[in-house]
Structures are given as structure tokens and as C-alpha cells.
Chain A
Amino acid sequence: MQDELIKRACDLLADGTVNRVLGWSAGDFFYDITPTVFESAEDVKKNFVYNDFCGANLSKYLIAESQKEGKIAVFLKPCDTYSFNQLMTEHRLVRDHIYAIGIECDGKVSAETLHDAGIHGILNVQKDGDELVCQTVYGEKRIAFDKAEDERCRNCKSRKHVVYDELLGPEGEVLDSHRFDEVEKLEAMTPEERFSFWQGELSRCIRCNACRNVCPACTCELCVFDNPKSGVFSKAASNDFEDANFHIIRAFHVAGRCTDCGECSRVCPEHIPLHLLNRKFIKDIDTLYGDYQAGETEGQMSPLSAFTEQNDAEPSIVQKGGIH
């Protein structure tokens, strides 16, 4: 796969279709991969990498990159294409400056998951059937691939590329995922249990803004939390209120726009399951206003901008037992 991508990138640079390629470059370890803009075939050949650790969603970088001169090629995994469409819907990309290449994805792994599973001193990681084989300073360690996968990939919603200029590999299919299971589990709890669950999670937030800055839906020129005039400005949470406030507002601001790409949870240094907040909104929207997948097609109207006169649920539905 990686070789195919490198070849395609070099060809596109060579035939002048694009003058830059947005992809991933290898780091010091097997897993510390950095999104990178390559400007030459030499650079691509030397540093380009595509493996199980290339989880980063590159679509957000296109906001800035597509503003620049010339065309840029970008490799998009299926879930990244949803973000791409959503950004197009919101007029954030200069489409003419982008050459989008859809690439296959079998689920991505984070080194964090390996570390959390007690695998340290990692020198190399190889896939062996359904397992990952990690060569470590402390010997060979094996872990089932689906255990090592990011949560978002275990519950992958779609392997379908919804937008591309060119496809390497199959177009893919929308999957029947279990992504709402965790939300349902929380819904089944008592409010007290839910409160203490979220308090435990959110109180760990250090307000590093990684979730926000990585989020392809968070593209404000000036975030309300960075704006002293907004009334919710705060740099660090002093207490539980501010912890919750930040995440409620953020989830609300991306409600109807979040494609559930899962980057927020991937990057959270405190491992807060932030995607659950977004998924709750997605689930509620699906339940109340019909299935809606942000980014499925360009130009969709967000369910929060739309309404029906007769059939919309009243807010009292929440008091009457909630939305399930």
C-alpha cells in the first residue's frame, strides 16, 4: 500500500498535476507519524509513510493548504472524506486547489493503546494476521489487532469514500457499526451515575485544546473560549463547571456538523472519551430527525438549521424519559 501511495504521489508531482502532497512522514519510532506536506519526489521517497499508525485526519490542514498557490494532493481515508465534504459544505476549502485521493483503511492503531496495554520499549511493530507483533526491549509482545485499534476504528461507521478525485483501492461500503453502544450504556445509567461518570472524566481535562485544534469542525477564526469578549473565555478550568461548560459548548457547536471522525478522543492526552458527547448528539439527531450523517454529501443542511413545523419533538421529550 505504502509503495503504491509513494508512486502515485511521485507521479502526480512529476506530471505537474500537483505541486505538493499532503501525507504522513515517519518519525523516530515505528509509530510517531507526523502529517507532512511534501514538495518533492525525493522527499516523498525518503520520508513518506502509510501504515497502521497513520490515524491523523488530514482534511483540516486543507483549510490552510488549499489557500496556497497551486494544487495539493491529499490522501484521505474513508472517514477523512466525510470531514472533507463537511468542510466543503461550510465553504472552508478551495476545491480547485485540491486533488483528493481516497485510500483504503483497515483501522488504525495508536501507540498509546500499546503503552496502555503494558507494552513498553517498543522497537518495531508488525501485523501478523489478526495480531500485532511488537518487538520490544523486553522481548516480543503480541496483541490482538482489534484490541490495539482506536475505539473509532473498532466501531468504524463507514469504509466508504464519499468524495475523491481518484481512488486507490475499493470505494468501500458504509458499515453497520455499534458506535452507539457506549452511548446507550450511559443512557441506561441513572442520572447520578452519569453525572459521576462525566465528572470523573471531564475533571481531568487540562484544557490543552488538542481536541478543539485537531477537530475538522472547529475551524473558527477565533474560538469563543479564546475570546475575552465572548463571556465564556477561560484558559483553564477552575472547577467542574468550567470543565463541563467547555465540553458542552464545544459539542453543541459541532452538533450536526461533527462527522464522528474520532480525532478528539484520539488526541486527548487525558483519554477522555470526548467522542461520546458528539455521538450522543448524532444519535439524538438520528432518532428525532431521521438518520443524518454529516459530510455524507456536500451541501447538506444541518439538522440544527432545519426543522419541520408539525413533527419535531418538543424539548419536554427529555423530561418525559429522554431520547433513546
Chain B
Amino acid sequence: MQKIGVFVCHCGTNIAATVDVEAVAEAARHVPGVVYATDYTYMCSQSGQDLIKDAVKKYGLTGVVVCSCSPRMHEKTFRKAVNSIGMNPYMLEIANIREQCSWVHKDKEVGTEKAISLMKAAVAKVELDAPLTAGETPVVKRALVIGGGIAGMQTALDIADAGYDVDIVEKNPTIGGKMAQLDKTFPTLDCSSCIVTPKMVDVGQNDKIHIYSYSEVTDVKGFVGNFKVTIKRKARYVDETKCTGCGLCTEKCPMKKAPNEFNLGLNNRTAIYIPFAQAVPKVATIDPNYCLMLNKGVCGLCSKVCDAHAINYKDTDKEIEVEYGAIVAATGYEIMDVSKYDEYAYAQSPDVVTSLEYERLMNAAGPTGGELLRPSDHKRPKTIVFVQCVGSRECDSTRGGKPYCSKICCMYTAKHAMLTKDHYPDTDIYVFYIDVRTPGKNFDEFYRRAVEQYGVHYIKGAVGKVTPENGKLIVQASDLLMNEQLTINADMVVLAAAIEPSHSARHLATLLTASMDTNDWFTEAHPKLRPVESPTAGVFLSGVCQGPKDIPETVAQAGAAASKVIGLLSKDKLAGNPCVAHSDEMMCTGCSQCADVCPYGAITYVDKEFRMPDRTTKVRRVAEVNPAVCQGCGACTVTCPSGAMDLNGFSNSEIMAEVDALCR
């Protein structure tokens, strides 16, 4: 029999307006087990908390019910309060009489009646509550950053700065990510490589940072503070430790028809390659799809020219397992495939390009050496049409369209227009847009410069069709403001294709048990208050993998994620969640059904010796739950026919007591 105190919050008038709080307190006084009940204006205030604490001491309360707002709001607050005076925090329950009562019901009588009912259910639960103590687990002082773009690099650098070891897993042969492919950045028009390559070097040279390039995460086990991650190091056929990055092999390689990913396939590279001059690590990689030696068993030139003897054709994929305390997802984005948008003729004409391709065409290190030449005939385009929102802000997903705004397109298009005009002032540039969105520091000024200073033609309207004809692209469009149809004979069309999450992100999210929204952006633990944490403890989000962002935002978030990681790694031990499953070994038959449904692999089996009533002993297989791994979902409890498996804090008897109370 517990001695329970019931505390009813007015929440100003939020509750008190539709719930007779005094009547709730009075009703509580008649519930068996309740020895004290009162109401107060703001229970969550310091004086409200003191009121609870004083009553616990004065009446020797063993359990507390707070009738207030949602437990998702203040359960922690109140549990902390009672814990501060020595009561087990799990002896406190919240009756949600605000969000689920006073705010949804208008009639005071009805509201009061329901509030009383909810209070009684909470009392019934407290009556059966047992003190719970969280287990402690040590924290592995090493972090993993998945993705080596600007987000991943910044996070890694910040973590390393705080003195913790950090590994970067990058699927490409080099870090650097999308930013390394950019020419200039908006709104300052400074050189992207000039900013990012020094960062890459910093990362590469940092003692605390280890880069697993050309690698992927294939499995994640464990839990916050104690992840065990399997990293697949794809066969590179070049020994990273020996390769000096001299590049001789790439010069000699006879196979020169591999599409160059770095330039988005706009030109070709050799089968053995270094993605670009500033690559980190600057190590060659053999593309197994194109290497003659690997495919046909003839050639071997690279091996012959390599003085460092770094070439190893027998290389295989290797898996390593590394322990981490925290994991940061920084998987970034891809440009959406726009080939389904037939009207823009992307698949039909090489002169219809995406913005990122355009970026490479403008870049000094790009396929054209920085000279703007259109892909089809390497002539300089005179008239360029930019189409905004291709695949973005589209409700129809049949062609892969995205409902969201890709956020960066307006600004980079303005940048492209200006840069083009800078180099080739005689170029006619048309930008077709739905809206121009420029909410950022110096963004609108930047856009206005494009229009006012550079004379870029911004046309509010949609492009209906692009038809390649006699080396031209006939762009048919509508001008919504002038309400007229336009036809433009363009030399190039640049599509501001939507950005979408990295294609590997969904699989990674499954491995991390991190949740994603319907667009496959990682979900944050709280959209306002915990924007860089995933709901899965110990997994953090950095950069665009959480949603479209520009570079400064990405870097800011990367730093924020790093600080969360540092906060976690700075702890020696982590208190677990005590609301986990446990198995009553006297009842368990070891049938293994619970392990079958456990998504975390938290259940194992042991053979145990039991004394029988007739004094004989019997060895039985019984389940054991690892409380550090269990997340407390309760799937196992339902699959267990005997009820041997139960969940702390949400036990069978507690839930049934709530049912009883609410049905009364």
C-alpha cells in the first residue's frame, strides 16, 4: 500500500478554466491510497515544485501523481524534483489533464470528470510503481562521423579540437564532398576550393582524426556510448600506406574511358585515378569496373610504374569493427535525377545540364578548364535559360518530385548568372522562377545585384517545353506577370534540380535505428529544441542529411553536432533508461520468441540451474535482457505467453490497473 500525494496544477487558466481543479483534488482525497491532495497555480514553478517536495516530506509520501500538462513536457521536471529529496523518480506519474483534457474539452463538468478519471488512472499506476534505478555504462571516447563533406569535416575537426578521437567514414576515395565540386560560393563569390581544401588538409593532418575513405558502414550494434560499428573498406587495389600520390600511374593508365565522377561524367578519367588534385587522402584508386588488369588480366602498367609498390590487384573488401561512443550522420545530399522531366529534354540534349554540372563547367579545374563551353559542340553559349524548382516544391511524386523547397537553388542560380555575366557579359540569361527566396544575410542584396546590376532576366513563370532543334534549345515558357507566352532560342538550359538525401542514408538510418521523415531526411529528436540530435540516443545529425541547407548553416550545425558529441564523450559513464524489459527466470521457458521480435538484439539465453519443489534440480534455458541495449519498446512482453517478460515502468499490471481505473 503506497502513500500517495496528488498535486493538481491550474496551469494559470490553461487547466483551471475547463477543469475544476479543486474538485479533482477533492476527489483524489477519497481514492484509497491517497493521503494528501492539493492544487496550485503553477506546479512546474519553483514554488510548485517545493510544494510537492514539502508534502512528500511532511506526509511521508511514497508515490506522487501530478495532474498537469503532458508528461512529454514536464515529467522530467517533476521526477527530478522528487528525486532531489530522495524519492525514486519513477514513483511519480503525470496525469495529462491539459493537452488531453482541458485543451480539448469545452464543458467544465465534462472536463472535470475526465480529469478525475485520468487522475485515478495515474494513482492506480503509482500504486503499482516500483522504484527503478538506471544502470550505468561506460562511454567509449571515440566518435564516428559518417560522411566526409564539409559537414562531416567540420564536425570531426571540432570534436578533435576538444581532444577526442574521431573517425570519418567516406564512401568516396576522397573527402571534400560537394563543396569541393563548387566553383564559387554565394553571396560572397569567394572560391569554394580555397575554403574547403585547407579544411581537407586540416582533417587529413589532424592526429585525432582518422579517415576511412572509400569505405562504408555496414553494421551498427550497441547503443549510446557503446556502439560497435562495422566498416567495410572497399578494395582500392592501392595500398594507402604506400601510395605517395605522385600520380604517375594515372598518367600511364591506358584505360581512359571511365566517366569522371568529380566532373559529373562531363569528361572521362583513367581507370586508376585520384579524383582531383587536392584529394585527401591523396591516394590512387583503381576503378574495378574499368581496370583492364582486373577485368581481362592484361595490362598491369600502373603496378610497373609504381615505385612505391603500392598496387595490389589482389586487394579485397575488408571489414573492420570499431567501437564508438557517438555517431554523427553527415551523409549530405545528391542532385535529383531529372531525366524523367521530359519537358526539359535533359536526357535528350547534352546542353541541358543541372546546376551542379554547370558549376563544373564554370570551374577552372573542371572539364573545360574553366571556360564556359557547352557540352555538345564546345561552343560558348550566348543565351542561357535557368529553370528553377525542377523537382522541388512538387506535390506529384510520380517523377520523383519533392514536396520541399531545396533552399539553395535561388541563390546559386543568381550566382551562376552573375559569374557568367562577369566572364561573358554578352550572354543573355533568363531565369524562370516560381518565387525567388532570399532569406539570409546579404542574400536579397545578392539577388538584386543579379537583376539590377547584371541585367539577368528574371521571369516569373514556368518553362513548358525545351525542344532541341538545329543545335538550339527552343524554350517555350510563360511569363506569368506579363501573362504572355515566350519562346527563347537558347544555347544552354540549366536546371535547378532538387536536392535529395544521399541514397545510402535510408539504409544507414536503419542501421542506426534513427528515424527519417517521408523524404528520407533524418528526423531530429525535437524540431526546435534538439535539432542536431536524432531520436536515437548517441546518434547526431550534421549538415544536409537533416534537410536542405547552405554552407554556413551546414557548418553551424556541424559545430553544434560536434558540441553535443563532445558533451557526451566528456562523460565517463552514462545512466541508462531503467524502463527496460526484464524476464522473470522462474517463469521463462526459453522459447526464444522474445529474441525473435527484439529489434536491438538485447535478449540472450543462458542455461540456468533451478531447484524444484521436490528438491531436485533442473537446468533450464532462460532469457536475459541486456538493460543497456534494451530500449524499452515492449515487443517482447506481448510475444511472451507466460508473461515472464515484463516492462519496467509500463508493466502488465500497471497498464491493466490504468485500464481498470479508466473504465470504472
Which of A's residues lie within 8 Å of B, judged by CB? 67, 89-92, 219-224, 227, 229-231, 253-254, 301-302, 304-306
From the candidates B588, B618, B639, B642, name the one contacting A305 in the complex (CB within 8 A): B639
For residue B80, CB closer than 8 A to chain A, the reply is no
Complex contacts, A253 vs chain B, CB 8 Å: 641
Complex contacts, A306 vs chain B, CB 8 Å: 596
Query: CA of A167 to CA of B642 in the docked complex: distance in angstroms?
Result: 35
For residue B652, CB closer than 8 A to chain A, the reply is yes
Query: CA of A223 to CA of B618 in the docked complex: distance in angstroms?
Result: 19
Query: CA of A92 to CA of B619 in the docked complex: distance in angstroms?
Result: 11
If A67-B618, A302-B593 touch, whether A224 touches B643 (CB-CB below 8 Å) is yes
A97 CB, min distance to chain B CBs, angstroms? 12
Interface size (B, Cβ < 8 Å)? Answer: 23
Complex contacts, B641 vs chain A, CB 8 Å: 220, 224, 253-254
From the candidates B588, B639, B643, name the one contacting A227 in the complex (CB within 8 A): B643
Query: CA of A301 to CA of B595 in the docked complex: distance in angstroms?
Result: 11
Complex contacts, B588 vs chain A, CB 8 Å: 221
Complex contacts, B620 vs chain A, CB 8 Å: 221
If A91-B621, A302-B596, A305-B597 touch, whether A220 touches B589 (CB-CB below 8 Å) is yes
Complex contacts, A224 vs chain B, CB 8 Å: 641-643
Query: CA of A304 to CA of B639 in the docked complex: distance in angstroms?
Result: 8
A interface, over-half SS: loop
From the candidates A223, A230, A302, A305, name the one contacting B652 in the complex (CB within 8 A): A230
Query: CA of A240 to CA of B285 in the docked complex: distance in angstroms?
Result: 74
Complex contacts, B652 vs chain A, CB 8 Å: 230-231
For B593, the closest partner residue in chain A by CB is A305
A45 CB, min distance to chain B CBs, angstroms? 31
From the candidates A90, A221, A302, A304, name the one contacting B586 in the complex (CB within 8 A): A221
From the candidates B586, B589, B592, B656, name the one contacting A219 in the complex (CB within 8 A): B589
A–B pairs, 7, beta carbons within 8 Å: A91-B591, A219-B591, A220-B587, A221-B589, A221-B642, A302-B593, A305-B593
Query: CA of A15 to CA of B653 in the docked complex: distance in angstroms?
Result: 54
For residue B590, CB closer than 8 A to chain A, the reply is yes
A63 CB, min distance to chain B CBs, angstroms? 9
Complex contacts, B656 vs chain A, CB 8 Å: 231
Query: CA of A90 to CA of B595 in the docked complex: distance in angstroms?
Result: 11
Query: CA of A129 to CA of B641 in the docked complex: distance in angstroms?
Result: 45
A92 contacts B643, CB within 8 Å? Answer: no
For A304, the closest partner residue in chain B by CB is B639
A222 contacts B642, CB within 8 Å? Answer: yes
B329 CB, min distance to chain A CBs, angstroms? 21
Complex contacts, B589 vs chain A, CB 8 Å: 90, 92, 219-221
Complex contacts, B587 vs chain A, CB 8 Å: 220-222, 227
Complex contacts, A222 vs chain B, CB 8 Å: 586-587, 642
Complex contacts, B642 vs chain A, CB 8 Å: 220-224, 227
Query: CA of A219 to CA of B587 in the docked complex: distance in angstroms?
Result: 11
B653 contacts A231, CB within 8 Å? Answer: yes
Query: CA of A91 to CA of B619 in the docked complex: distance in angstroms?
Result: 12
- From 649 to 663 in chain B, residues with beta carbon under 8 angstroms from any chain A beta carbon are 652-653, 656
- From 616 to 631 in chain B, residues with beta carbon under 8 angstroms from any chain A beta carbon are 618-621
Complex contacts, A89 vs chain B, CB 8 Å: 592
Q: Top 5 closest A-B pairs, CB basis?
A: A253-B641, A305-B596, A220-B642, A90-B591, A231-B656
Query: CA of A229 to CA of B619 in the docked complex: distance in angstroms?
Result: 25
For A229, the closest partner residue in chain B by CB is B653
B518 CB, min distance to chain A CBs, angstroms? 14
Query: CA of A224 to CA of B640 in the docked complex: distance in angstroms?
Result: 10
Query: CA of A244 to CA of B155 in the docked complex: distance in angstroms?
Result: 59
Query: CA of A229 to CA of B591 in the docked complex: distance in angstroms?
Result: 21
Query: CA of A220 to CA of B645 in the docked complex: distance in angstroms?
Result: 12
Query: CA of A254 to CA of B639 in the docked complex: distance in angstroms?
Result: 10
Complex contacts, A220 vs chain B, CB 8 Å: 587, 589, 641-642
For A221, the closest partner residue in chain B by CB is B587
Complex contacts, A227 vs chain B, CB 8 Å: 587, 642-643
Query: CA of A224 to CA of B605 in the docked complex: distance in angstroms?
Result: 22
Query: CA of A224 to CA of B643 in the docked complex: distance in angstroms?
Result: 7
If A221-B587, A231-B656, A305-B597 touch, whether A91 touches B643 (CB-CB below 8 Å) is no
B662 CB, min distance to chain A CBs, angstroms? 15
If A227-B643, A304-B639 touch, whether A92 touches B596 (CB-CB below 8 Å) is no
Complex contacts, B653 vs chain A, CB 8 Å: 229, 231
Complex contacts, A223 vs chain B, CB 8 Å: 642
A320 CB, min distance to chain B CBs, angstroms? 24
B300 CB, min distance to chain A CBs, angstroms? 47
A233 CB, min distance to chain B CBs, angstroms? 11
- From 536 to 593 in chain B, residues with beta carbon under 8 angstroms from any chain A beta carbon are 586-593
B593 CB, min distance to chain A CBs, angstroms? 6
Query: CA of A221 to CA of B591 in the docked complex: distance in angstroms?
Result: 11
B124 CB, min distance to chain A CBs, angstroms? 12
Query: CA of A302 to CA of B596 in the docked complex: distance in angstroms?
Result: 9
Complex contacts, A254 vs chain B, CB 8 Å: 641
Query: CA of A164 to CA of B597 in the docked complex: distance in angstroms?
Result: 30
Complex contacts, A305 vs chain B, CB 8 Å: 593, 596-597, 639
Query: CA of A89 to CA of B590 in the docked complex: distance in angstroms?
Result: 10
